[in-house]
Structures are given as structure tokens and as C-alpha cells.
């Protein structure tokens, strides 16, 4: 056995070693690179999604804060502009002022201060509001008098939240009566509500990190510690985050500027958004595990395929190349070992040449086979038509001869029966007259005649001879109808198309089949008003004969056959329906194929329906069939009333 390294030496390198050398890195390196790239893109996309989520949440929180400030500003301005406030403050009645404040429903709490800034009264409000302040600082009072209205925001000392404070002057054209103040606490409760709704944590920080507001249930010192860690971990790149742990949950932290209440100063405070990383971490872990599994599976699969390809494909190719070389040179000797470095190129060229030659030969052969099949089918159809036509011509000639030979004696019998009936009537009158005159004879002669009448049974003869002549006349009529049907059916010389009444053909066919129908099958003839059609009567008689004979044979016992005709447009439709055994779907797909039959050997040729199909097509018509096993079969024949081109035979 050769050493493994020998397969990779340039001078002795084989096709198997080349495939292994090229395929292993060519398959594994792209997989590894694709796996790394997919992981990198997924993590980058996850960071971008987290940043967009944090940015969106910060915008929503700032919008909520701005909305609260606008509501506070709107409410305090609206209340301060009402005349009842000025009127009540004019009275300086503390009770009236208190009742007035109790009558307003606002967010937060209302307070009233004197023009000098001293506390006067306050309205109802939540328990979380700040303690009562007994005066307004001079700087604030001075600013209120200069601007008439102020709106401020500042952190509470106890870390419970952020106060939003609106103040407006209460005055008229004559005098200043006081200051109306409205305060609202934006605190941890609002942030907790946002967390429950949006599943993110938020922190509002003072610019120097001395105070913080959070919806997280922890002490103020812990909140400040968390706030300082969030700030220290921030990166210059907006989408990069650093993890922050809160208990057992890891969060991505993002820090955004919080502007002042006027919006002019962007560095008033900070808004920190903490997005939980549970789902992202789980998806990343799952992706990495899937990539590891996929890489291992692909490595195993590619290694196995390379091994199989080298052992089971390359070796036969080398053998085939050597064999092709020997065959082309005409030498049939033992296969030598392949030492050429270009066997694959040679194999491809030789194989392509063979494929081209085989393809050309195959296409030529298939064309010839199709032509032979077509010619064979045409020969079969022509042979079938010729055989049946010859049979029908012979049968027509025989039937015509028999009908001609029968016609004369039947005519004699039919004619003589009328004379015989007349003669018998006369003989009956004579016997009757004789009996009437018998009383004039002597008694002895009368007795002898009566004995003779009894001996000859004259009364029975006179009664029976009438029935005999009647039955003979009926038999002659039936024989005459049979001969007429045979003569109509045997008109094979009428192959040229001419106007013809379909009903006449159907009636003549039924007369010929009367023996098969009698006392077993009831035929319902539902004939509509149809015109004569241009056709070959003998050929359509053959179609009706074949279809009706099949319908009779399909009914094992008693049954019924319906024959319907109707006209629509320039076409005539003939329906032949029976209550026979019916046919399966498989049988229906073959009934018009020549020599196909479901009957026993010797009972049918399998040509009846195929001939009927061909004759209908020659009349530029079509034939359809519907059948259900156990229910019966329905044939529909559609024929044009005129032919665009007459067809012969």
C-alpha cells in the first residue's frame, strides 16, 4: 500500500488525490466563511434592531413627557384666564378660594400664592405630591412677573421623580391678585407603566448623575450605581451596546440626551434605555449551534461524497478511458494502469463524440420507428375497413339475392291469399245457403247429409279456415317486411352521398333485429322533427346495426333501449341508450381501438365500434359515449345535415 503523501506528489498525483486536494478546501472553506459571515450579519442586524428599538422607545418617552408638560401648561393657563379665579381672589376669602380650587380637576395639584409669594391655599391632589411650600423664592417670583407664565422641571430630593411645575399670574387691568401654581410628579410609576407596556427599562438621570428616576424596584443608591455604570459603558458608536445585568436578566444599555423643558438646552439630563437581551441571546445561541451542526454535517457529507466519488466514480472512469483507447486502436488486451494526467479531458471528448453519434442515430431511429408505427396503424385501419367492407359487400350481395329470390314466391303467396280469402267467403255462403235449403229434402237424405257433416266436422272447418287464412296472410305480411328490410339494408351500391331519412334506416335496422328484441327488450323510439341529411345510407345503417347489436348483447335479460333523435342548427343528434351492464373507465378508453373486445374468444371480432367510429368520422361527424357499470351505456352521434365534401366508401 502506497504512503498517503505519495498521492499528493506532483509527479505521481492521481485523479483521486487531485479531487480530494481541490474539493476538501473548496467545499469546507466557503462553508466556514459563510457561517462566519452569517453570524456577523445576524449580530450586526440584531444590534441595529436593538438600537432602533431603544431609539424608538426614547422618542416615545420624550413624547409622553412633552405631552404631560403641554397638558400642564394648557391647564394652568386656561384656569388662570378664567374670570371666576380673579373674582374669587379679589374677595380674599380663604374659604371661597379653597372651594374654587376644589372645583377644578387637573393632573397634579393647584396652589395659590399671594402677590408677594406667600402661600394662601391649595387644592386636592395625590398623596405623592411634594410637601407644602409656604412661599415662592424671590428669583422665581421675579421671573414669573416678567414672563406672566413659567413652566419648570426639576428632580425631587428624595428620588421619587421629576417635578413639572407651572405658574401663572392672576391679575386684571387694575391689579395683581396672586400666583396660581400647578405641580405634577413624573416618577417611577410612569416608567413602570411604560416598562409593562413596552417591555423595556428606562432611567432619567441628572446631568451630574447626582439624582436618577427609575421604574426598577431597588434602592436609590442602587439606582445611582446602575446609572453611573450605564454612563461609563457607553461607546461612541451608536449601535454598539454594553451589557448591564439586573438580577438574572441581561440588558443592552443606550444613553440619550434629555433636553430642558424649552428644548433649547440639549444637555439638561440623560435618558437611559435598557432593552432585554433574552430573545436576542437565545436566537444568537441557536444560530451558532445550527451553524456548528451544519458545518459538521457538511464536512462529514462532503468527506463521504469525496470518498465515494474517488472510489466508485473515478476508478471506473479511469478504466473506461483505458478501454476506449484500446477500442479506438483496435487492440483488445488487458487494461494497463492509467498514467496520463489528461484522462478526464480525453474521456469528455470521446464521450461527447459518442453522445453526438448516438443522439443522431437515436433521433433517426425514433423517426423511423414513428413512421413505421404510423404506417402500421394505417395498414391496420385500411385492412380493417377493407375486411369489413368486403364482408358487408358479400353479405349485401347474399342478402340482396336471398331477398330477390324470396320476394317472388312471397308476392305469389300474398296475392293468392287475397283470392283464397274471396273463394272461402263464397264457399261459406254456399254452405250456409245449402243448410237453409236442407229442410226441403226428404228426411232420409237430410239424415244422411247431417251424418256426413258430423263425420267431416264441417262446423269446425268453417270456423278454423278463417283463422288459418288470416294467420297465413299475417305470415306473408311479416315475410314481406323482412324481405323489404333486407333489400333496404343491402343497398351497398348506394355509396354516394344523398339526402336520406335517418328514421327509415333506424326502422329497417330494428326490423332485422326483431328476433333478438322480441319478448325480451322494449325499444322506445323518441323521434324528433329532423331534416333529411346528406349521407351514405348503407354506411349509417351499418353504424346503427353495430350500436344496436352491442346494446342488445349488453342486456343479459329483460331490458330497455331508447333511440332519440333531435335537430339543432345544422346538425342532427342520434342517441342510443341501453340498460345493460355498462363499461368501466378502462374499457371506455379502448372501445374504439380495432380488435379490442371484452367478449369471449370466438364471440366477437372487436371491429364493430371501431368501424362505426370510422364511418361517423367519414361523415364529418363525431361519436361520444358515457357508461356506468351496472347502469347502462349511452352513445351520442352528431352528424351534419350537409357535407362540405362527399366521401365515397
Do residues 511 and 426 share a domain?
A: no
The CATH number assigned to the domain holding 517 equals 3.30.565.10
Q: How much is the average pLDDT of 475-480?
A: 71
Segments forming the whole domain that contains residue 269: 200-276
Look at residue 638 and tell me whether its pLDDT is greater than 80.
yes
Q: Model confidence at 19, in pLDDT bands (50, 70, 90)?
A: low
State the pLDDT at residue 1: 44
Q: What proportion of the chain, given as a percentage, has pLDDT over 90? A: 8
Do residues 631 and 510 share a domain?
A: yes
Do residues 455 and 519 share a domain?
A: no
Q: Which of 525, 521, 582, 587 is nearest to 552 (CA)?
A: 521
Domain end position, chosen among 458, 486, 514 = 486
Do residues 479 and 599 share a domain?
A: no
State the pLDDT at residue 569: 87
Do residues 561 and 626 share a domain?
A: yes
Q: Flag whether 331 is in a domain.
A: no
Q: Flag whether 366 is in a domain.
A: no
What is the C-alpha to C-alpha distance for residues 469 and 417, in angstroms, rounded to an integer? 7
Q: Model confidence at 131, in pLDDT bands (50, 70, 90)?
A: low
DSSP code at position 557 = S
User: Exposed, middle or buried, 53 (CB in 10 Å: 0-12/13-18/19+)?
Assistant: middle
Give the residue, 407 or 603, on which the prediction is more confident.
Answer: 407
Do residues 556 and 521 share a domain?
A: yes
Look at residue 639 and tell me whether its pLDDT is greater than 60.
yes
Ranking 213-217, 221-225, 626-630 by mean pLDDT, the lowest is 221-225
Contact at 8 Å (CB) between 104 and 79?
A: yes
Total structural domains within the chain: 3
Q: Model confidence at 92, in pLDDT bands (50, 70, 90)?
A: confident
165 CB contacts (<8 Å, ≥6 apart)?
151, 152, 153, 154, 181, 182, 183, 184
Ranking 60-69, 285-294, 454-463 by mean pLDDT, the lowest is 454-463
Q: Flag whether 569 is in a domain.
A: yes
Grid cell at residue 404: 330477390
State the pLDDT at residue 396: 58
Q: Flag whether 18 is in a domain.
A: no
Mapped onto helix, strand or coil, the DSSP state of residue 264 is coil
Q: How much is the average pLDDT of 24-28?
A: 69
Q: What is the pLDDT of residues 574-584, one digit of tens each?
A: 999 999 888 88
What is the C-alpha to C-alpha distance for residues 234 and 255, in angstroms, rounded to an integer? 7
Tally of residues, the chain: 649
Q: Which of 550, 537, 533 is nearest to 507 (CA)?
A: 537
Exposure string (b/e) for 27-37, b if CB count within 10 Å is 16 or more? beeebeeebee
State the pLDDT at residue 572: 95
State the pLDDT at residue 382: 67
Q: Model confidence at 239, in pLDDT bands (50, 70, 90)?
A: low
Q: Model confidence at 316, in pLDDT bands (50, 70, 90)?
A: low
Do residues 508 and 636 share a domain?
A: yes
Look at residue 300 and tell me whether its pLDDT is greater than 70.
yes
Q: Which of 641, 623, 508 is nearest to 566 (CA)?
A: 641
What is the C-alpha to C-alpha distance for residues 26 and 297, in angstroms, rounded to an integer? 16
376 conformational bin, left if phi > 0, alpha if psi -120 to 50, beta if neither: alpha
Give the residue, 231 or 513, on which the prediction is more confident.
Answer: 513
The CATH number assigned to the domain holding 213 equals 3.30.450
Do residues 272 and 233 share a domain?
A: yes
Look at residue 7 and tell me whether its pLDDT is greater than 50.
no
195 CB contacts (<8 Å, ≥6 apart)?
201, 202, 215
Give the residue, 548 or 538, on which the prediction is more confident.
Answer: 548
State the pLDDT at residue 336: 45
Q: Flag whether 595 is in a domain.
A: yes
Domain end position, chosen among 451, 466, 486 = 486
Q: Flag whether 191 is in a domain.
A: no
Q: Tell me how far the alpha carbon of residue 506 is from its chain's centroid.
A: 48
Do residues 381 and 466 share a domain?
A: yes
Mapped onto helix, strand or coil, the DSSP state of residue 539 is helix
Q: Which of 392, 351, 571 is nearest to 492 (CA)?
A: 392
What is the C-alpha to C-alpha distance for residues 66 and 151, in angstroms, rounded to an integer? 12
Q: Flag whether 399 is in a domain.
A: yes
State the pLDDT at residue 571: 92
Q: Model confidence at 647, in pLDDT bands (50, 70, 90)?
A: very low
Do residues 512 and 635 share a domain?
A: yes
State the pLDDT at residue 130: 60
What is the C-alpha to C-alpha distance for residues 638 and 570, in angstroms, rounded to an integer? 10
What integer best gives the mean pLDDT of the chain? 76
pTM of structure? 0.42
State the pLDDT at residue 328: 57
Q: Which of 507, 564, 497 is nearest to 530 (CA)?
A: 564
Q: Flag whether 627 is in a domain.
A: yes
Grid cell at residue 38: 452569517
Q: Which of 193-207, 365-379, 380-394 has the highest mean pLDDT?
A: 365-379
Contact at 8 Å (CB) between 112 and 89?
A: yes
State the pLDDT at residue 331: 47
Do residues 512 and 452 share a domain?
A: no
State the pLDDT at residue 330: 44
Q: Which of 244, 241, 276, 278 is nearest to 256 (CA)?
A: 241
Q: Which residues in 536-645 belong to E strands, given as ranges?
A: 559-568, 571-578, 622-628, 632-640
Do the strands 521-526 and 559-568 form a parallel or antiparallel pair, or are they unpaired? parallel
Domain end position, chosen among 276, 296, 313 = 276
Do residues 458 and 570 share a domain?
A: no
Ranking 227-236, 503-512, 514-523 by mean pLDDT, the lowest is 227-236
What is the C-alpha to C-alpha distance for residues 506 and 580, in angstroms, rounded to an integer? 20
Look at residue 218 and tell me whether its pLDDT is greater than 70.
no
State the pLDDT at residue 479: 73
State the pLDDT at residue 533: 92
Amino acid at each position: 500500500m502506497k504512503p498517503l503523501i505519495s498521492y499528493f506528489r506532483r509527479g505521481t498525483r492521481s485523479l483521486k488525490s487531485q479531487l480530494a486536494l481541490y474539493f476538501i478546501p473548496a467545499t469546507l472553506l466557503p462553508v466556514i466563511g459563510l457561517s462566519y459571515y452569517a453570524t456577523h450579519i445576524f449580530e450586526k442586524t440584531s444590534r441595529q434592531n436593538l438600537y432602533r428599538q431603544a431609539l424608538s422607545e426614547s422618542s416615545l418617552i420624550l413624547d409622553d413627557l412633552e405631552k404631560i408638560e403641554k397638558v400642564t401648561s394648557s391647564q394652568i393657563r386656561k384656569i388662570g384666564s378664567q374670570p371666576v379665579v380673579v373674582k374669587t381672589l379679589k374677595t380674599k376669602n380663604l374659604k371661597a378660594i379653597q372651594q374654587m380650587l376644589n372645583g377644578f380637576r387637573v393632573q397634579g395639584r393647584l396652589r395659590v400664592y399671594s402677590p408677594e409669594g406667600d402661600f394662601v391655599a391649595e387644592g386636592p391632589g395625590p398623596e405623592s405630591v411634594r410637601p407644602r411650600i409656604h412661599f415662592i423664592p424671590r428669583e422665581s417670583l421675579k421671573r414669573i412677573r416678567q414672563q406672566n407664565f413659567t413652566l419648570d422641571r426639576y428632580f425631587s430630593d428624595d428620588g421619587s421623580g421629576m417635578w413639572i411645575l407651572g405658574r401663572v399670574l392672576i391679575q386684571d387691568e387694575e391689579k395683581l391678585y396672586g400666583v396660581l401654581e400647578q405641580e405634577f410628579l413624573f416618577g417611577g410609576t410612569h416608567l413602570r407603566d411604560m416598562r409593562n407596556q413596552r417591555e423595556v427599562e428606562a432611567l432619567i438621570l441628572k446631568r451630574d448623575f447626582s439624582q436618577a428616576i427609575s421604574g426598577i424596584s431597588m434602592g436609590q443608591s442602587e439606582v445611582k450605581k446602575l446609572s453611573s455604570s450605564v454612563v461609563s459603558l457607553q461607546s461612541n458608536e451608536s449601535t454598539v451596546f454594553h451589557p448591564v445585568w439586573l438580577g438574572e436578566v441581561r440588558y443592552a444599555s443606550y444613553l440619550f440626551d434629555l433636553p430642558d423643558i424649552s428644548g433649547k438646552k440639549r444637555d439638561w439630563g440623560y435618558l437611559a434605555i435598557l432593552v432585554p437581551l433574552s430573545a436576542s441571546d437565545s436566537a444568537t445561541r441557536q444560530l451558532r449551534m445550527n451553524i456548528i451542526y451544519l458545518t459538521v454535517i457538511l464536512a462529514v457529507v462532503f468527506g463521504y461524497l469525496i470518498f465515494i466519488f474517488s472510489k466508485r466514480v473515478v476508478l471506473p472512469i479511469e478504466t473506461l478511458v483505458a478501454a476506449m483507447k484500446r477500442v479506438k486502436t483496435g487492440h483488445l488486451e488487458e487494461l494497463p494502469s492509467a498514467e496520463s494526467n489528461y484522462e478526464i479531458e480525453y474521456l469528455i471528448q470521446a464521450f461527447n463524440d459518442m453522445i453526438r453519434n448516438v443522439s443522431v442515430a437515436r433521433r433517426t431511429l425514433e423517426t423511423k420507428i414513428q413512421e413505421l408505427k404510423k404506417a402500421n396503424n394505417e395498414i391496420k385501419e385500411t385492412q380493417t375497413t377493407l375486411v369489413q367492407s368486403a364482408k358487408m359487400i358479400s353479405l349485401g350481395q347474399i342478402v340482396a339475392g336471398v331477398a330477390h329470390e324470396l320476394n317472388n314466391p312471397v308476392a305469389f303467396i300474398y296475392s293468392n291469399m287475397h283470392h283464397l280469402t274471396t273463394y272461402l267467403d263464397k264457399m261459406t255462403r254456399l254452405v250456409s245457403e245449402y243448410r237453409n235449403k236442407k229442410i226441403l229434402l226428404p228426411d232420409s237424405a237430410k239424415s244422411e247429409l247431417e251424418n256426413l257433416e258430423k263425420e267431416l266436422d264441417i262446423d269446425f272447418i268453417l270456423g278454423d279456415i278463417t283463422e288459418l287464412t288470416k294467420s297465413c296472410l299475417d305470415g306473408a305480411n311479416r315475410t314481406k317486411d323482412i324481405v323489404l328490410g333486407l333489400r333496404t339494408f343491402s343497398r351497398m351500391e348506394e355509396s354516394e352521398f344523398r339526402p336520406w331519412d335517418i328514421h327509415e334506416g333506424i326502422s329497417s335496422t330494428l326490423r332485422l333485429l326483431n328476433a333478438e328484441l322480441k319478448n325480451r327488450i322494449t325499444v322506445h323510439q323518441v323521434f324528433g322533427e329532423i331534416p333529411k341529411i346528406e349521407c351514405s345510407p348503407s354506411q349509417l345503417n351499418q353504424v346503427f346495426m353495430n350500436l344496436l347489436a352491442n346494446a342488445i348483447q349488453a342486456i343479459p335479460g329483460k331490458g330497455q333501449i331508447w333511440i332519440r333523435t333531435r335537430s339543432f342548427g345544422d346538425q342532427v343528434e342520434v342517441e342510443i341508450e341501453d340498460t345493460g351492464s355498462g363499461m368501466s373507465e378502462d374499457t371506455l378508453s379502448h372501445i374504439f381501438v380495432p380488435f379490442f373486445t371484452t367478449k369471449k374468444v370466438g364471440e366477437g371480432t372487436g371491429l364493430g365500434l371501431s368501424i362505426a367510429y370510422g364511418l361517423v368520422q367519414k361523415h364529418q361527424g363525431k361519436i361520444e359515449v358515457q357508461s356506468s357499470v351496472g347502469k347502462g351505456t349511452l352513445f351520442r352521434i352528431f352528424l351534419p345535415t350537409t357535407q362540405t365534401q362527399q366521401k365515397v366508401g
